[in-house]
Amino acid sequence: MSSLPARVRVSRLPLPPTPNVSAQLRRLLPGVGLDTVTQAAAALAGGRVVGAAVLAPDGYQQGIEASWRGKGLEQALMEAVGQTAPAGLETGLQ
């Protein structure tokens, strides 16, 4: 697993997500239909969702707050939902 900042935790989410978690997922991934999600993960820092990843029939998507990009969350979120990035390929972020 990726090396993350000490105060960040990445966890797989139970489905369907709670209303509060759904709101955070919509904030980070506005174009994703949460009713089609088959797997989801969130990165939390200080009790706040700063990144999210979902897997749905139409593919994998992730969204990370700009200030948290490039700190290992991208790879950790991918791994949490069972995805792997090809070597040298950056993930598409929102």
pLDDT tens, residue by residue, 58-73: 899 999 999 999 999 9
DSSP-assigned letters across all residues of 5-62: -TTEEEEEPPSSPPHHHHHHHHHH-TT--GGG-SEEEEEEETTEEEEEEEEETTEEEE
Q: Is the pLDDT of residue 49 over 50?
A: yes
Q: What confidence category does residue 85 fall into, taking pLDDT thresholds of 50, 70 and 90? A: low
pLDDT of residue 84: 74
Topology (CATH level 3) of domain 8-80: Aminopeptidase (3.40.630)
Instruction: Tell me the per-residue pLDDT of 30-45, one tens digit each, with 9 for 90 and over.
Output: 988 889 999 999 999 9
